[in-house]
Amino acid sequence: MTNRMISPTGSASYEVRVLLENGEYWLNNKGDLAILDETVRRFAERWPHARIGVLTSAPALLRAYEPRVDAICYQRGGRWPRRRRRPGPVGLLGPGIAGAPMNARDAAVAMPGRIVRRVRRVVGTTHDAQPVPDAVTTASLVVAIGGGYMTDIDRFQTERTLKLLEQAADLGIPTAMTGQGFGPLTEPDLLERAAQVLPRVNLIGLREGLRGPELLRSLGVPTDRIVITGDDAVDLGFSTRRTELGTDLGVCLRVAEYSPVGATIRDVVGRVVREHASAHGARLVPLIVSEHDGEDRRSTMPLLAEYPETVPALGRFADARTLSREVGRCRIIVTGAYHVAVFALSQGISVVGLSTSRYYDDKFAGLNAMFGAGIETVRLDEAGIPDRLRSVIERTWSEAPQVRSVLLARAENQIRASRTVFDRIAGFVEETVSERHDLRSAPSVPPTSPR
């Protein structure tokens, strides 16, 4: 099937269809939402009449966050809607108001399928095959947008993304990955699968240059297809920066299977940040990024409960830009969540990173390499944590004004690099459109008579 596409100049000869692999289908993470928002905005500005499809398990909630896109429902065949979706009242209300009812609607629609899958697991009839969405067959471009899901700890999403990119490549559709954080990726079968698919991707943008490039080259990806850009959410964070450095202390503690933090260490973190805020007359600001099972909220809010000057936490369905503005209140951030650090550094705000795993060591080390200053990681599973954490927080607080200009300059460099990659990706589509136009407009040549 051939699409009608719209050329970059707006002439109605074809219709561009951009299919976005969104790494977090239930829209529970404001870092992923920031990347999605920037990606949609850039493609919509490039091709105002294009259809932008987003793979999701929460189509109603997606309309609240991104009213310009087509929801491609992964569990229902993954087809393009018959008609282009127009912004409606849900988009006008925004996620802060419409988020809760839209989320409830998605949950109700998904419930029968969840029950069926649960029954299949109990009786042992579950199969591991992951369907490729039908939307890929009529896409002009398939892009796996930024995230840290190409890793051992997110196997399902890694395999799902690789399968989608492979299908697109088989169909001759341009593919790209943007703002990606690869690894740790060590499982032999995942490495083998990645080596089959990733060398076929037209362009891969990385959010860091420490681990990703070497891993991709080991998998056979040509060097000229690897570009280091920084995280695409830097653009959103930078756009919300304040003229002056803030005065508050921002806090986010991530406790999850891939980021274990025991109760004793949580108490230590809470006590240290409260002591520091009190000594400097600062308010504490809870910064909730992931709402998956309420993990950030459940881990962060108890740390602030005993402190009298605490800024109220944002609601469950606040958007990424609102969260980034909350980050802008702060002089420094203490965080175990990666995208809180991204929002902070891109506004010139220094960060103390909290880690208990190689996964987060690599994430924060990548940010340190991209920004060159303003972030120091503290391992919470090492000896002497109370004194070490106090020392790092105090030093970071003291040095914050001096490193701000360096951070802002590095943020601008990453934004330029990221936008350049999007221009290159758009060029894949525009080149294809141009070639098709040339073929359609070329004069017909009568067959040559045999001699």
What is the model's pLDDT at position 434?
Answer: 72
What is the model's pLDDT at position 361?
Answer: 97
The one-character DSSP state at 74 is G
- What is 196-221 written as a DSSP string? HHGGGSSEEEES-SSSHHHHHHHTT-
What is the model's pLDDT at position 114?
Answer: 67
What is the model's pLDDT at position 113?
Answer: 72
Nearest to 424 by CA among 202, 194, 101: 202
Low-confidence ranges of the chain (pLDDT < 70): 1-13, 114, 116-121, 124-130, 435-451
For residue 15, with 0-12 CB atoms within 10 Å meaning exposed, 13-18 middle and 19 or more buried, which class applies? middle
Domains of the chain: 17-233+414-440 (3.40.50.2000), 235-410 (3.40.50.2000)
Q: Strand 350-355 vs strand 284-286: parallel, antiparallel, or unpaired?
A: unpaired
E strand or H helix at 394: helix 385-441
The one-character DSSP state at 352 is E
Q: Show Cβ contacts of residue 209 under 8 Å, excluding neighbours closer than 6 positions.
A: 228, 366, 369, 370
pTM of structure: 0.92
Alpha helices in 26-140 (DSSP H): 30-46, 59-65, 89-93, 95-123
Q: d(Cα 217, Cα 204) in Å, to the nearest integer?
A: 11
Identity of the residue numbered 433: V
Q: d(Cα 443, Cα 99) in Å, to the nearest integer?
A: 54
User: Angle CA(401)–CA(407)–CA(408) in degrees, nearest 5?
Assistant: 100
Q: d(Cα 371, Cα 306) in Å, to the nearest integer?
A: 34
Task: Report the Cα–Cα distance between both ends of the chain, in Å, rounded.
Answer: 38
Q: d(Cα 340, Cα 331) in Å, to the nearest integer?
A: 13
| CB-CB contact of 193 with 162 (8 Å) | yes
What is the model's pLDDT at position 2?
Answer: 40
Q: Strand 51-56 vs strand 350-355: parallel, antiparallel, or unpaired?
A: unpaired
What is the model's pLDDT at position 120?
Answer: 63
Q: Strand 147-150 vs strand 70-73: parallel, antiparallel, or unpaired?
A: unpaired
| CB-CB contact of 144 with 22 (8 Å) | no
| CB-CB contact of 285 with 330 (8 Å) | yes
Identity of the residue numbered 224: D
What is the model's pLDDT at position 116?
Answer: 67
- What is 255-290 written as a DSSP string? -BTTB---HHHHHHHHHHHHHHHHHTTPPEEE---B
Structure tokens at 267: 């108490």
Identity of the residue numbered 397: W
